Chains A and B, each alone.
Chain A
């Protein structure tokens, strides 16, 4: 087990390296710091001095990979690659193009993201799994047919409409909750309840369909027939036997998402003005702040790779048959 874990950890290294190099290529080679400066300062009336100043302030005026002008190790360290990309391995994100400390921003903004993303995931999975089990319980009836038709309809609606419609209905017409905003204190739930509801509802369509196929794969198996034969009720069969055996594919889908909870949801956060990492990313994209986008790309990838690792471990916990070597 530990040998397996170490091997998986080592495998993550080339992946992270790949992501790092890819972002380096995208942000510094394909698209040079000169272009960034011109983009930020305005395209037309910008002199070469202004560009040099802009680059110097942000440390983009160094050579890319090898500094001819420096001495000793500084030949490697006084470069954009070392200063901007290698630091990412140690989660040193540096400063944004506007001069903010990205690391500190991330540390403060990940809490609101977690506060909204964690309950969304838990509640969403609970609702979807329960509904899917219900659909399976009523299989081969009209209830199943119309339930699935409803699911197709639900998943054909753009998530934007769920958010806009939900804000209009609950925030403006019924005035139950504030339309958007966030508060860290005890009142946080008032702001969280609407985004939470909407993200659960918008996920029902595809979620229920997905879990239903997982359960349908199981209900035909022999052990289910045995359980029925020994006189267990259908509810008991589904909720204890089938659910338990379908846990592996369910877990694969969930565990991989766990680390990404930190980065939050782009749409929800930006619509509801929640100061999390999702809205941070969107703001950065809209202000064309390449430093933040680069950091978020790297952070997201790292968390995803961590998720893959967690998935492998979780297998052993759920299914005693799985042995990892």
Chain B
């Protein structure tokens, strides 16, 4: 096993480290602690946070890449491509591919084939799947019972894991509040804790039980069926989580520096700097975003075609295209935040404390860093959190127009794009769309609910 680090992996971890550092800094500032306390008391926000945390965990595990050890027989064809820790754990899901479509939990294929019969002839019937339900002798009679038994077993295992986690959390609360654990459990169960622990633990229970059942099922079935080339849809939709998270977070690497530097400069220095920066973002804003993204993606395609030698492996090329897409989305996305920051800085620079600092001879960059930046920071936070869900949704649309992520990258957009004509089949192939819908909707809904709570808490105009 040789670990390797993709560009997006590195940047993703950098985002996480920076977010962690930000949390540590904000914990020490009372004016940030107060709004976050409001967020932490809000049930929808904290339930969403649990969901987002689970997605994040999947994304992180999927961002640790390594080359699988080459076998003694020499490097097999697949061994040259790096895989992630998640791929390693889901090993079976990735490799157990059928011939073509199959329904969720199916034991038989979607289409009929000529099958050899015992007496040497041929019959026209649905063939058994290679992996889905292969352990059943007679699927007709055993399948439903087997699915129920496996599901209950998996749900039970998930529930057990939840019990352990919940006990751990209760013990931690009890220790930090110096209360007997029995009373803590009692109060959590009655929903009397300041943080909505009951709702959070119930969400976690739901995720654990569901996850456990799916994990147990997926050992013997294709839980979300298989797609046109027989690949497991559940695997694709889980892999898409990382893509969605990356699109939503890496974009900040471009938006934040541009919006902060230009917005603060325009608002603080005014004059020609303001004119120039306003001109810049009005020009950029007037170009339809989809077209700007399309143009930029076409250009990167040309660039990558020209420098083919620099993008040796398929995975590397897909990874860089994802990175480019994030950067391009960032380039089209900073103008809104920049405008907000400029307006707020214009207001702040006339306030007494800034005037006093200037009168005392504090230099411009000192004023900007120590007096203006901390006071516009809530706008930055709100905007980053609000933009996240929009970016995840944008990825799907862009991938549909073929200007999104690389076609080989697993993403919800690519799943929808390749499945959009499948509903027209007879019988309709609905499972790819359903899987993409469920996973994407959950993430975006959670992000939206969380963003609403953050905005309500951090925006002084909404605080009451």
Contact = CB atoms under 8 A, between A and B. Distances in A.
Interface of A: 14-15, 18-19, 22-23, 26-27, 30-31, 35-36, 38-39, 43, 152-153, 155-161, 164, 167-168, 172, 179, 260, 263, 266-267, 270, 281-282, 285-286, 288, 290, 293-294, 296-297, 300-301, 304-305, 308
B302 A39 contact: yes
B332 to A, nearest CB: 12
A156 B448 contact: yes
Contact of B397 (A158, A294, A297): A158
Contacts of B413: 160
A300 B288 contact: yes
B209 interface: no
Chain A, interface SS category:
helix
Contacts of A19: 283, 286-287
A23 B416 CA distance: 31
A293 B305 contact: no
B424 A300 contact: no
Contact of B294 (A31, A260, A293): A293
B279 interface: yes
- Sort A-B residue pairs by CB-CB distance and give the 8 closest, nearest first: A300-B288, A18-B283, A156-B445, A156-B444, A301-B286, A304-B286, A35-B302, A285-B294
B254 interface: no
A304 B433 contact: no
B446 to A, nearest CB: 9
A156 B44 CA distance: 15
15 contacts: A31-B299, A31-B302, A35-B305, A39-B301, A152-B445, A153-B445, A157-B444, A160-B416, A164-B416, A164-B420, A167-B423, A288-B298, A293-B295, A297-B287, A301-B288
B397 A152 contact: no
Contact of A152 (B292, B299, B306, B448): B448
A11 to B, nearest CB: 9
Contacts of B291: 281, 293, 296-297, 300
B401 interface: yes
B449 interface: yes
B302 A36 contact: yes
A294 B306 CA distance: 21
A31 B401 CA distance: 21
A35 B448 contact: no
B400 A267 contact: yes
A286 B399 CA distance: 12
Given A19-B286, A26-B295, A300-B288, A155 B302 contact: no
Interface in B282-332: 282-288, 290-292, 294-296, 298-299, 301-303, 305-306, 308
B298 A293 contact: yes
Given A152-B445, A168-B428, A15 B279 contact: yes
Chain B, interface SS category:
helix
B295 to A, nearest CB: 5
B282 to A, nearest CB: 6
B403 interface: yes
A159 B401 contact: no
B274 to A, nearest CB: 14
B299 A164 contact: no
A225 B286 CA distance: 40
A132 to B, nearest CB: 16
Contacts of A18: 279, 283
Nearest to A21: B283
Contacts of B391: none
Contacts of A172: 423-424, 428
A104 B299 CA distance: 27
Nearest to A297: B291
A14 B403 CA distance: 30
Interface in B408-464: 412-413, 416, 420, 423-424, 428, 433, 437, 440-441, 444-445, 448-449, 452
A54 to B, nearest CB: 15
B452 to A, nearest CB: 7
Contacts of B306: 35, 38
Contacts of A266: 290, 401
A44 to B, nearest CB: 10
Contacts of B379: none
Contacts of B402: 285-286
B13 to A, nearest CB: 27
A304 B396 contact: no
A305 B282 CA distance: 9
B393 interface: yes
Contacts of A39: 301-302, 305
B448 A285 contact: no
Contacts of B305: 35, 38-39, 43
A152 B288 contact: no
B389 interface: yes
Contact of B416 (A15, A158, A290): A158
